């Protein structure tokens, strides 16, 4: 069922999109509106194909799709304490859960589903949607800031550890134990994100001037980038490329910054024997005698590439993906548009805008839907998401990345985490009535 774009409020451009999110491998975009939600495929630059649309739930403010599957999680302002999980291809509800306060954010991979409230985080097993753990008494988190590694075998969770400083708590979503605490910034956190393999964690504070990257799980600082010095900004999006070679940051300004994660080596190349080389060496040595803040700025790397937006002050999210075999920068805006830029990692410099798509008037055909739900080549910089080989197979019927398997169809093992999520046979999946629950008292405390 397709949502009607005409339901968007006239003249209310800013309120047209209440939420928007890229899926875990940046092959799909989900948007929420007053009328419902839509899912788009990001397989082409020339056209934007709508995979699915629904207006059965109005006023959606959270919508998350699990990779390119037919599993989608939706939260509406009409019931902000209730999480609804759907199999959109079949048009059925898998389950729903109610919580003690408003849901602020949801994160998921093939192993875990996280529900973040202001003062607690619920960890569900995505295989059967059972509640595994509740993290209570966490510092107040009014924005629902949290991150989950998309690598299900490495399901690390990160969330703010302090209300007054940029402390990050790293938590193992598989063993359900705290790993470490990272003193990332002096100011409070504004953004945190994992790379695809879950081996790196990037963060930014509310000042938005410095972005740091840490190793996981030991929490050692690997990189430090300076976004700018002239003004503080609000970082709205922070994301790694799928091969972890680049880190992209967007904010409430008109500039998107892309940083390159250079390989760190212990050996330094010989300094050039020129006068400029000598002066450069002396300049860097002099930073040891400068105040710490000044010295740090001298050693922080600047953006490798940038992109200029034709707007500022609007909510937006960005991602780095590979579309039609070329690296692209994608920026979705609350105004209801998706901007596509060419990104050449060899040249750097300024990215060139190549296409702008409207997210409020796009439609698709059934043929396009089916094409999107078929298995496709990985849409990433280097397809480095840790996946076992698809050569081994299982005959267990259940949920698969192609949007739902037929009963008895052979499904590759890598489509599962530790077992299948049975979305295609109501008798195999736990009955909906058993999946529904009220998460107010029956929880395991941390």
Domain spans of the chain, in order of start: 15-98, 99-226, 234-263+299-361
pLDDT the model gives residue 344: 74
On the question of a cis peptide bond just before residue 430, with omega within 30 degrees of 0, the verdict is: no
Dist CA 150 CA 23 (whole Å): 10
pLDDT the model gives residue 231: 63
Same fold, 99-226 and 234-263+299-361: no
b/e per residue 164-179 (b: at least 16 CB within 10 A): ebbbbbbbebbebeeb
Tokens of 246: 């680049």
| CATH number, domain 99-226 | 2.130.10.10
- Domain 234-263+299-361 in CATH 2.40.10: yes
**Rounded to an integer, what is the distance from CA 194 to the centroid of its chain?**
8
Helix (H, G, I), strand (E, B) or coil at 21: strand
CA trace torsion 55, 58, 61, 65 (10° rounding): -30
pLDDT along the chain (446 residues), means of 10: 34 66 96 96 94 95 96 97 95 94 97 97 94 94 97 95 96 97 96 97 93 97 82 88 95 93 52 46 49 43 84 92 94 95 78 94 45 36 29 30 30 37 37 47 46
pLDDT the model gives residue 8: 36
pLDDT the model gives residue 232: 76
Q: Which CATH architecture has domain 15-98?
A: Beta Barrel (2.40)
């Amino acid at each position: 069922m397709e949502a009607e774009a005409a339901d968007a409020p006239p003249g209310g451009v800013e309120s047209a999109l209440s939420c928007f999110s890229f899926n875990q491998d940046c092959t799909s975009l989900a948007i929420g509106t007053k009328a419902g939600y839509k899912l788009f495929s990001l397989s082409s630059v020339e056209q934007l194909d709508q995979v699915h649309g629904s207006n059965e739930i109005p006023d959606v403010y959270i919508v998350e799709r699990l990779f390119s599957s037919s599993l989608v999680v939706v939260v509406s302002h009409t019931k902000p304490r209730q999480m609804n999980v759907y199999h959109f291809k079949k048009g059925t509800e898998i389950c729903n859960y109610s919580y003690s306060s408003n849901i602020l954010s949801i994160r998921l991979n093939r192993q875990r589903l996280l529900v973040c409230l202001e003062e607690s985080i619920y960890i569900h097993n995505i295989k059967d949607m059972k509640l595994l753990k509740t993290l209570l008494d966490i510092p107040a988190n009014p924005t629902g800031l949290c991150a989950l590694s998309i690598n299900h075998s490495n399901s690390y969770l990160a969330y703010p550890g302090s209300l007054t400083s940029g402390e990050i708590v790293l938590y193992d979503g598989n063993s359900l134990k705290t790993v470490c605490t990272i003193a990332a910034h002096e100011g409070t956190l504004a953004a945190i994100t994992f790379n695809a393999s879950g081996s790196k964690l990037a963060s930014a504070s509310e000042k938005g001037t410095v972005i740091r990257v840490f190793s996981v799980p030991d929490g050692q600082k690997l990189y430090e980038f300076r976004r700018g010095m002239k003004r503080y900004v609000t970082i709205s999006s922070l994301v790694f490329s799928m091969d972890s070679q680049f880190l992209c940051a967007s904010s409430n300004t008109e500039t998107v910054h892309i940083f390159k994660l250079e390989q760190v080596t212990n050996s330094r190349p010989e300094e050039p024997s020129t006068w400029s080389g000598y002066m450069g060496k002396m300049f860097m040595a002099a930073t040891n005698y400068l105040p710490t803040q000044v010295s740090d700025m001298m050693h922080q790397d600047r953006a490798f590439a940038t992109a200029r937006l034709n707007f500022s002050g609007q909510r937006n999210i960005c991602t780095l993906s590979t579309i039609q075999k070329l690296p692209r920068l994608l920026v979705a805006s609350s105004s209801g548009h998706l901007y596509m830029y060419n990104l050449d990692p060899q040249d750097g410099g300024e990215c060139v805008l190549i296409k702008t798509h409207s997210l409020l008037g796009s439609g698709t055909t059934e043929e396009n839907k089916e094409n999107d739900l078929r298995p496709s080549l990985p849409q990433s910089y280097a397809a480095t998401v840790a996946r076992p080989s698809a050569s081994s197979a299982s005959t267990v019927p259940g949920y698969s990345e192609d949007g739902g398997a037929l009963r008895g169809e052979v499904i590759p093992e890598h489509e599962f985490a530790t077992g299948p999520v049975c979305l295609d046979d109501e008798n195999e999946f736990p009955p909906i009535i058993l999946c529904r629950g009220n998460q107010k008292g029956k929880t395991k405390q941390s």
